[in-house]
Structure 1
Amino acid sequence: MKVIQIRVKILLKEDTNASYIQSKVCSLIDYSFSKRKELLEMHKKNEYKFYCFDFPYPVESDKIYKKGKIYTLTIRTVNLDLGEFFSNSLLNIETHSIKALSSEIKIISQRPIEKIYSLTPAIIKNENGYWRDIMSIDDYERRIKENLIKKYNKITGEKMKEDFDLFNKIDVKNKKPISVKYKDIKLLGDKINLYISDDKRAQKLAYMALGAGIMEMNSRGCGFVNYKFL
């Protein structure tokens, strides 16, 4: 497995509030998928997409992305075909809000990871609301691990045994839940630090998470994590 990182220079064609920028990026990516049949079919399926993306950088101090300004969008994936697509075929795609200009691609090396930390909120989709109102912290921690194992099994075709600790410590960085706009609703999530154990399976999952994201809605810009190597 390889984690592929693509940094795309994008031009904003209209002022955009930071709370809406993820949906604008989703529109750009979704529109680009419509140009290739197999990717459009993948997009329509209710399954893991194995890519994630961060907020465009730099984030403006007034939370308004500026019309006519160029920003850097970081996309990561563990799918080699998607990596090639984002690096090449995304270029010169544009919507009414964003135009992709250029890209830079690299492989993130697999080295021992001390921690991963979310740059965009990690989301659990639940009909009963925000997880803290219905789940214990133990259940939340188990959900993080189970989600990553399911992704790993799906992309590798293996069945990873679950008798290990994924992390030694978890920090939830926000005191109040972070709201994420999705279609006509608001979802509540968190930014978290996970201090990864030295178990080989835990290290594999942490590395995969750099390209696939943690928890859910990763292809909508949620659960994008950065890393600190040992």
Structure 2
Amino acid sequence: MLVFEYQCKLKFLKSINHKTIAEKINYFLDSVLAKDQEFLQYHENKGYKYYVTDAPWPIEKDGIYKEGKVYTLRIRTVKQELAEFFSEKLYAHTSKELLGIGGKLRIIPKKHIEELYSITPIVVKTDEGYWRGNMTVPEFEKIIKINLIKKYKQFMGQNISEDILLYDVMKFNNRVPIKVSYKNINLLGDKLSFRISNEQLSQELAYFALGVGLGCNNARGLGFVNYKYL
């Protein structure tokens, strides 16, 4: 299992507020998937998508992506055919606001991961909405871990224990919940850091998380994590 990263160069055809950028990126990617019958079915499938995106960078100080400027969007996946599809088809692909002008496809090296930290908020789904006030921190941690393990088991086709110690320390990097606009509602998420366990399977899961994200709605730009090697 390898994690592929496509660094897509995007030219902005219109200025866009960072608060609405996720929906513009989602449409841009969804519309290119829709051009291929196989990937259209893949997109419409309600199962795990096995890819995750961050927000275009650099982010402007005033929060407005500027018309005419070029930014970079990172798309990561553990599906090689999907990475190659994006790297080929996003070139010259356009929407009303965005134009793909190229990019770089690479494999993220497999090295010992000391820490994972979220670039975009991690969101977990509960029947009560945002988790704080409805569950304990250990319960919240368990949801994140079990969600990742379920993705791994389905993708790899093998069963592993859900009792694994994925990390030794988890830290919140935000004081208040972070609002994320999604389908005309606001989801609430958190930015977190994890000091990853040295166990081999823990390291494998941490590497896998780089390509699929943590929490929910990863293909919608949530739960994108970056890494620090030992």
TM-score when scaled to structure 2? Answer: 0.98
**Residue number in structure 2 paired with 1:171:** 171
**Residue number in structure 2 paired with 1:114:** 114
Q: What is the deviation of 1:100? A: 0.6
* Structure 1: 5+ residue stretches without partners: none
Paired residues for 1:1-230 under 5 Å? 1-230=1-230
Equivalent residues of 1:125, 1:187 under 8 A apart? no
Q: Can you list the C-alpha shifts for 1:100-159, whole angstroms capped at 9, x where unaligned?
A: 110101101111100100000001123311111211001011111101100100110001
User: Secondary structure at the residue paired with 2:208?
Assistant: helix
Equivalent residues of 1:196, 1:206 under 8 A apart? yes
* Structure 2: 5+ residue stretches without partners: none
Inter-partner Cα distance in structure 2 for 1:187 and 1:94: 28
Inter-partner Cα distance in structure 2 for 1:42 and 1:34: 9
Q: CA RMSD in A?
A: 0.8
User: Secondary structure at the residue paired with 1:61?
Assistant: coil
User: Percent identical across equivalent pairs?
Assistant: 42
Equivalent residues of 1:57, 1:72 under 8 A apart? yes
Q: Which runs of 4+ in 1 moved over 4 A?
A: none
Inter-partner Cα distance in structure 1 for 2:226 and 2:103: 19
TM-score when scaled to structure 1? Answer: 0.98
Inter-partner Cα distance in structure 2 for 1:112 and 1:140: 26
2:198 alignment partner AA: D
2:203 alignment partner AA: Q
Q: Can you list the C-alpha shifts for 1:166-209, whole angstroms capped at 9, x where unaligned?
A: 11000011010000000110000000001100111111110000
